[in-house]
Structure 1
Amino acid sequence: MGVLMSRKRAFNWYISLVAASCMVLYGYDASVFNSVQGSKNWVAWMNKPNANTIGSINTAYTVGAIFGGFFLGGPCADFLGRKIGMGIGCVLVIIATFMQTFTPRHNIALFLAGRCIIGIGQGIALTAGPIYIGELAPPEIRGKIMTFWQMFYSVGSFICFWINFGCTKHTASLGEWDWKMVVIFQLLVPVLILILLPTIPGSPRWYIQRGNKIDQARAALSKVRDTEEEVEQELLEIREAIEYEKEAISGNYSALWKDKSLRKRMGLALILNAGQQITGQGSLNSYSTKIYQKVFTSSSQIALINALNATFGIIFTLNAVWIVDRFGRKFLLIVGGIGMGLCMIVVSAVETETPSLANGAKSEPVGISIVFLLFLFIFFYKPSWGATVWIWTSEIFSMNVRAQAVGMASQTQNVANAIVQQFFPIFLDNEGFFAFYMFAGINFLLAAFVFFFIPETKQVSLEEIDTLFGGANHVAQGEEVLAHQKGVQMTHEGSEKPGAVTVENVGSK
């Protein structure tokens, strides 16, 4: 029995990691454009784009991702299934990667279109992935598995920055392929996901929601739960929750504004997801090269720091694996917010209160201090506002709106990021490192917000999470609905017999 348990638990990890690999697409892409901008060959190939055009390329991706997440991600995951949603996202990323790599010389419009399509693909995949994990992972390891979701973002950055670092070392021999190589490697992970998708089961919640396919749901659950009792208990809970949602709230997305408890959850999720990007992490990720240019002069040195940053990002995110289910989501978000705020204050002070050398850079000890402090910042960010925001968002919504709500909430990250990225470079040029004081204030405010408004969701089953937000327990209410339906059914069956109880009599009891 012990062997059987460990094999099923291992399979649960495997299917969750396949779904989490969608985040590698996001991490790679977030770093790929940052990387190619440093290539003189790319600049020449694209006919020396000005700052506005570069901004448009960033915006094209963001607009695509917001459109994909807000309008396509939920319907794809709900009507076609979580697995198909991930598959569609991967196919779009593959098509767009070829469009960008083989853009004809001086045809920046095609490159721009590729960026937009990659955004749409990621918007769809990043909606389906966390829902799939949340629906198949047992509550006691759900937090640990969702930690890998955030960690895989760092894996994407890691692959991209190290490929870019290697290409910067061989620019002469590679020629225009010094940037094309960085772009085309984006094929690697979506192709791998498409190969592995047929090996993972569908979501049991989706099977029951779309056509009440109980046998398929049971087959899917039995692959990842240790005992038959667990499978039957979870099946019953899912059916009860879905029945209640159909009867009492609404079987469709309108519940998001009709149900007071869901409105509250949506508001909190939008603030947390926007908060994730205004901690300063979004700006560090997109403009780290520009930030480090204020401290260092060597571009190869800056490329190495970026690559090391991504490497440490993986290690720091892994911290969440052992602390997120032990200390809880709320504790991590508060400690992370305070830690990031302190790092931002110290980094601002170190840079602004120390003299610059004749070439405009800082002395080596000051440079090392700043790099250390920004690495310390991601030490606090990765397990807390990095991983935990995704965990919390994927587990708080009821079944009837989960796909749409997670899609909308996660794309708030892109909305917030687009706004901050628009003004941050100008802010950085005008104010230098004084800009980081703004992030310090934001982080302290976010920690206070979590303390007062965010409930703890550690190890609460997905079907019973509604009670935390002042809603009805969908399982308990669903039990009554199912019992009532069963009573009505029995009445109909018995009404042909003499002396049968009528439907009206049942209703009045």
Structure 2
Amino acid sequence: MGLLTLQEDRPTPSAVYNWRVYACAAVAAFCAVMIGYDSAFIGGTLALTSFKNEFNWKQYSTDEANLITENIVSLYQAGAFFGALGAYAAGHYLGRKKGLQLFSGIFILGAGLMLGANGNRGLGLIYAGRVLAGVGVGGASNLTPIYISELSPPAIRGRLVGLYEMGWQIGGVVGFWINYGVSTTMPASHKQWIIPFAIQLVPAGLMFIGLFFIKESPRWLMTRNRRTQALANLCWIRMLPEEDLYMLEEVSAIDAALELQQSTVGLGFWQPFKALWNDRKVTYRFFLGCSLFFWQNTSGINAINYYSPTVFKSIGVTGTNTSLLTTGIFGVIKAVVTLIWLFFLIDNLGRRNLLMYGAFGGAICLYYVGAYIKIADPANHPTSDGKLSSGGISAMAFFYLWTMFYTPSWNGTPWVYNSEMFPQNVRTLGQAFAASSNWLFNFLVARFTAQMFTSMKYGVYFFFASLMLCSIVFVFFLLPETKGIPLESMDRLFSKDLQPRKAHKIVMRELKEDEEVFRHNVEGSGLGLSKDGVEKSAHLEEV
């Protein structure tokens, strides 16, 4: 197995890895560009002198200014929490594609409202716009990973869902450098701070338009008894005819999974809630999904994203422009490492290994940064020329090294894992719980980070580093590997009879044995599907 070798659950035609499946995933992933852009631009924009002058920041005490900043930032996460929950109903009744269109439209409305704010009107429109924009990205953050996972071939599912994370990093790079650009090239004015707010409309508009040109999830269509359209969409995405053996296997697996779910839980709106309550395997996966986002958010990433100027100031970086430049470099490193994660790591090294290695390396780096701030105390002992000391440079190096450990592990892998581990009938609800838990923890971090830096100082870094070490224990004992496992076989992986750290090898071996039996039976019987895909032989049902 080489670094670029895909782990396939069965022989897969090369046509399956085509431009259409990448195009559908890329359009859906544009919601992450909106999220990444916001996480990068908002802290720097609120720190601009032009913004503070327009809204008369001098009238507030330090505590009051911190509270207002935290409210502006965190209202976005609060809206996203409710958007992620509401996306369950939209995904169930409207589908993945129309649901994404709905939430991208809500985001456009919220972003437009923010542009109406000025010194005379006050911050009300920014507050309202942040809530609506949050609802939009919260709903999209639920549906996008689900949509991509449902149309992905198993061998590249991590890579395709990883486009969501890549979009996040692209948005982050643009957001960081937009702030630096307006800060260094424009005078302090209304236009200087409103431009970063306006650019939010670009990715949202591109996503809204692009959604008209992609196909609905075949698996969702199957759950709504729209079989003919589901098969047509699947053939279009796979670029294979219905009679191809690969298609026969995939359709039969979907049918078998849906029949099992229909006979045990049901496919209605409320049935997933019953499954959550009655089925321990489903409950366990809900716990894992929400826990992954707890560990992700307590790694410190969102504290750094939203309050990067504060973070770099604590290390000893002085001056608004210098801080924004340093933040921009941080964004570029994240984007480059994400590309490596996307194309080389997620579908080869696997989810478990990435999470454990990333947490260990990241914790060491944060301990170093915290120790430097404790010993050198750069805030109270600045250098005479305003530049970083040699110790400060080393702390910055370890901070960027932390970025290189964290980004290809905890940044995007929890989204991939949650998009693939749930059964079809509870997938939207499971992702709703997971995404809403992400936004809840994100909200708590955004709401209290400024106060944490004020009261805990260097202790913030020790706090996040210690939690990263704790996450290793969680992953090692509770999380099975999911790479290369078809969505319809996830129940096997989470069987109570299998130890999480050994389950992947066992299930992959069983799948290869099942595939050999299936091919032998199909080739021996001359099995095929009719044009509308409805007729199946009794032999296929037996298989």
- Say yes or no: TM over 0.5: yes
| 1:345 matched residue in structure 2 | 367
Does the residue aligned with 1:371 lie in a helix, a strand or coil?
helix
Quote how far apart the aligned CAs of 1:358 are: 4.8
Task: Confirm or deny: 8 A CA contact 1:5 1:226 kept in the other structure.
Answer: no
More helix by share: 1
CA distance in 2, matches of 1:434, 1:86: 40
1:6 Cα deviation after fit: 4.9
User: What residue is the counterpart of 2:40 in the other structure?
Assistant: 31
Unaligned runs of 5+ in 2: 1-12, 498-506, 515-543
CA deviation map 1:99-149 (0-9, x unaligned): 101224342111100000001001111111100100001000001112221
Q: 1:233 pairs with 229, 246, 249, which one?
A: 249
Report what 2:272 is aligned to.
Answer: 253
Determine the C-alpha separation between the residues in 2 that align with 1:380 and 1:77: 34
CA distance in 2, matches of 1:62, 1:434: 25
Amino acid at match of 2:237: V
In the alignment, the residues of structure 1 paired with residue 307 and residue 299 of structure 2 have an alpha-carbon distance, to the nearest angstrom, of: 14
Q: Does 1:306 align with 2:327?
A: yes
C-alpha separation in 2, matches of 1:289 and 1:347 = 16
Distance of 2:122 and 2:74 partners within structure 1: 18
C-alpha distance in structure 1 between counterparts of 2:122 and 2:451, whole Å: 28
What amino acid is the match of 1:29? D
Which of 177, 189, 198 aligns to 1:175? It is 189
Report the residue type matching 2:20 in the other structure.
F
Distance in 2 of aligned mates of 1:383 and 1:240 = 35
> Do structure 1's residue 219 and structure 2's residue 240 form an aligned pair?
no
2:456 to 431, 435, 446: 431
Please name the residue that 2:101 is paired with. 87
Q: Following TM superposition, by how much is the alpha carbon of 1:364 offset from its aligned partner in structure 2, in angstroms?
A: 3.2
Aligned to 2:24: 15
Partner of 2:531: none
Q: Residues 444 and 358 of structure 1: is their aligned pair in 2 closer, same or farther, counting only changes over 3 Å?
A: closer
* Secondary structure, aligned partner of 2:178: helix
Taking the TM superposition and a 5 Å limit, the aligned residue runs for 1:158-173 are 158-172=173-187
Q: Distance in 1 between matches of 2:406 and 2:32?
A: 17
Superposed CA deviations along residues 3-61 of structure 1, whole A, max 9, x for unmatched, are x9458612111111111111111101112321221122222333436332222222321
The superposition leaves residues 479-505 of structure 1 with CA deviations (integer Å, 9 ceiling, x where unpaired) of: xxxxxxxxxxxxxxxxxxxxxxxxxxx
1:271 corresponds to which residue?
291
Report the alpha carbon displacement of residue 230 of structure 1 after superposing the two structures with TM. 2.0
Stretch moving more, 451-460 or 242-251? 242-251
SS of 2:215's partner is coil
Distance 1:269 1:362 in 2: 43
Residue 275 of structure 1 and its aligned partner are, at CA, apart by: 0.9
Matched, 1:421 2:460: no
Which of these residues, 208, 216, 223, is aligned with residue 194 of structure 1?
208
Q: In angstroms, what is the RMSD of aligned CA positions? A: 2.1
Residue 309 (structure 2) pairs with residue 289 (structure 1): yes
The question of 1:335 aligning with 2:357 is answered: yes
Percent of aligned pairs sharing the same letter: 28
Within 2, Cα distance between the matches of 1:438 and 1:409? Answer: 23
Deviation at 1:280, TM superposition (A): 1.0
Distance in 1, matches of 2:390 and 2:117, equals 43
Residue deviations 1:257-280 (CA, integer Å, cap 9, x gap): 221100000001111111111011
Could you tell me how far apart the structure 1 residues matched to 2:110 and 2:350 are? 39
Hey, what's the Cα distance between the residues in 1 that align with 2:20 and 2:427? 24
Deviates more, 1:29-38 or 1:301-310: 29-38
> For residue 190 of structure 1, what is the amino acid of its counterpart?
A
Aligned-partner residue type, residue 485 of structure 2: V
Per the alignment, residue 97 of structure 1 pairs with 111
Amino acid aligned to 2:27: V
1:107 paired with 2:128, answer no
Q: 1:7 to 1:241 in 2, by over 3 A?
A: closer
Structure 1 CA distance for aligned equivalents of residues 38 and 99 of structure 2: 19
On the 8 A contact 2:178/2:196 being kept in 1, the answer is yes
SS at match of 1:327: coil
- Offset at residue 401 of structure 1 (A): 1.1
- Aligned partner of 1:493 in structure 2 is none
Q: Does 1:78 pair with 2:99?
A: no
Distance 2:89 2:431 in 1: 12
Give the CA deviation at 1:447.
Answer: 0.8
Query: For residues 459 and 207 of structure 2, what CA distance do their matches in structure 1 show?
Result: 43
Structure 1 residue corresponding to 2:413, chosen from 346, 371, 388: 388
Shift of the 213–167 alpha-carbon distance from structure 1 to 2, 3 Å rule, reads same
Question: For structure 1, which segment, 5-14 or 324-333, has the greater mean C-alpha deviation from structure 2 after superposition?
Answer: 5-14
* Partner in structure 2 of residue 319 of structure 1: 340
Distance 2:73 2:471 in 1: 26
Preserved CA contact (<8 Å) 1:47 1:106: no
Q: Secondary structure at the match of 1:207?
A: helix
- Within 2, Cα distance between the matches of 1:402 and 1:75? 12
User: Match for residue 143 of structure 1?
Assistant: 158
Please list every run of 5 or more consecutive structure 1 residues that lacks an aligned counterpart in the other structure. 477-509
Q: Distance in 2 between matches of 1:203 and 1:419?
A: 33
Residue-by-residue CA offset, 1:72-120 (whole Å, 9 max, x unaligned): 1111112101111111121111111111012243421111000000010
Within the alignment, does 1:130 sit opposite 2:145 as a pair? yes
In 2, are the aligned partners of 1:268 and 1:454 still within 8 Å (CA)? yes
- Residue-pair matches, total: 469
| Inter-partner Cα distance in structure 2 for 1:377 and 1:352 | 18
Distance verdict in 2 for CA 1:299–1:187, change over 3 Å: same
Is the Cα contact below 8 Å between 1:87 and 1:197 reproduced in 2?
A: yes
Where in structure 2 are the equivalents of 1:354-365 lying within 5 Å? 354=376, 356=378, 358-359=381-382, 363-365=388-390
User: Does the aligned pair in 2 maintain the 1:45–1:106 contact within 8 Å?
Assistant: no
CA distance in 2, matches of 1:323, 1:51: 39
One-letter amino acid of the structure 1 residue matched with residue 208 of structure 2: L
Cα offset, 1:421, TM superposition: 3.4
CA 240–139 in structure 1, closer or farther in 2 if over 3 Å, else same? same
CA distance in 1, matches of 2:199, 2:357: 37
Contact 1:8 1:224 (8 Å CA) reproduced: no
Distance across 2 between alignment mates of 1:157 and 1:176: 23
2:425 maps to 1:400: yes
Check conservation: 1:148, 1:318, Cα contact below 8 A: no
